[in-house]
Amino acid sequence: MEKTMRNRSGFTMLEVLVVMIMLSAVIALMVGILGAGSGNRQAESASMKLLNDFSNIEMAFNNFKHEKNAVPVGLTDSTFVPVYLFPPKADSGFERPTTAGWVDGYLLGASANGNYVCAQAAYSDAIAAAASELKKKTSSMKVITNASCGSTTDSMPTSGTVSFTYWISRVS
């Protein structure tokens, strides 16, 4: 008896399986290539968010100072925050110390060296990368990374808490 092959349209299960394996390999390679730079994008995004928040607080501080001929007491000052800083409590994504004066991750402070805004985070490679990105975006010594807020010495800690001090006004 003679076997006849009928005309068929479509693919065999083996052909479909081979194509699926090839596609998954290509997708895995693309995810690896595209995902490799995501740490840098995250650092850039975190530093841009922090810089924007610092700039907003600086602008509000300067507006208050110009109009009132005085400096605000801090981010808990009820005559400053609701009127000059909108939204009054920005979300930095950094730590939220419960110490007096800190509001949603930020501290508006003053020292003999001038007025500053500070944010803190636990040291990690991502925080170090964000600090590096932040320094690229600001003028020299505008942002100081150190272990404590209000520092004028720029040195990146390698463990513990990293403080980002953004100088609004600085006495040389």
Residue matched to tokens 């507006």: 63
The reported pLDDT for the residue numbered 56 is 86
136-172 confidence digits (pLDDT tens): 888 767 888 988 888 888 888 888 888 999 998 877 6
What is the spatial distance between Cα 85 and Cα 64, in angstroms, rounded to a whole number?
Answer: 9
Mean pLDDT taken over the chain: 81
Angle subtended by helix axes 38-68 and 125-137, to nearest 10? 50
Q: Identify the band that residue 46 occupies on the pLDDT scale cut at 50, 70 and 90.
A: confident
Instruction: Check whether 67 has a pLDDT greater than 60.
Output: yes
Residue 91 has pLDDT above 60, yes or no: no
- 168, 107 contact by CB (below 8 A): no
pLDDT at 134: 85
Tokens 């596609």 identify what position? 23
What is the side-by-side order of every strand in the sheet holding 114-122? 102-103, 106-111, 114-122, 161-170, 143-146
- How far apart, in whole angstroms, are the C-alpha atoms of residue 164 and residue 155? 11
Answer yes or no: is pLDDT of 4 > 70.
no
- Domain boundaries of the chain, sorted by first residue: 39-170
